[in-house]
Amino acid sequence: MDIILTGQIKVKYCVICKNDANIEISISDILSNEKISKVIKSEFAKGLRNINLFNLDDATVSIRTDKMIYELILGKNDFADLLVLAEEDAQKKKLFKKDCDGIELIDIVTVD
């Protein structure tokens, strides 16, 4: 557990890699896929004939790479250099592996 003093910033970040996935697919696109449609019908409507799948809302499914979130505590005076300091923190922790060379800031919270 980190002890946070007043006048500090808590930064959360993750490491970005070349092969990270971030795809959004609409439910209608999923249901229009013949293979998926057959699997759903055979699993949930076994033995029934002449059935169709319908999309009742315009929802989407996200496929994303599961990322580990790292934290860093900085002084408020370091706000302008947040990205650089977070990258340096990742380098110190040896988080950059093959095809992983950047970070994404997830959350920045000031502590009064």
pLDDT tens, residue by residue, 3-16: 555 688 899 999 99
User: What average pLDDT does the structure give for the chain?
Assistant: 87
Q: Are residues 16 and 70 in the same domain?
A: yes
Q: Are residues 26 and 16 in the same domain?
A: no
Query: Average pLDDT, stretch 39-53?
Result: 89
Q: Are residues 55 and 74 in the same domain?
A: no
What's the structural domain count of the chain? Answer: 2
Q: What residues contact 1, with CB distance under 8 A and at least 6 apart?
A: none
The fraction of the chain above a pLDDT of 70, given in percent, is 94
Q: Are residues 32 and 51 in the same domain?
A: yes
- Please state the pTM of the whole predicted model: 0.65
The per-residue DSSP string of 7-66 comes to SEEEEEEEEEETT--EEEEEHHHHHH-HHHHHHHHHHHSTT--S------S--EEEEE--
Q: Are residues 51 and 88 in the same domain?
A: no
Q: Are residues 33 and 51 in the same domain?
A: yes
Count the neighbouring beta carbons within 10 Å of the beta carbon of residue 13: 24
- pLDDT of 54 > 90? The answer is no
Extract the tokens encoding 109.
Answer: 């919270």
Domain of residue 110, residue span:
1-20+66-112
Q: What residues contact 100, with CB distance under 8 A and at least 6 apart?
A: 15, 16, 17, 18
Q: What is the pLDDT of residue 36?
A: 92
Q: Which amino acid is at 85?
A: L
Q: What is the pLDDT of residue 78?
A: 82
CA distance 37 to 27: 11
Q: Are residues 49 and 30 in the same domain?
A: yes
- Name the more confident of 56 and 104: 104
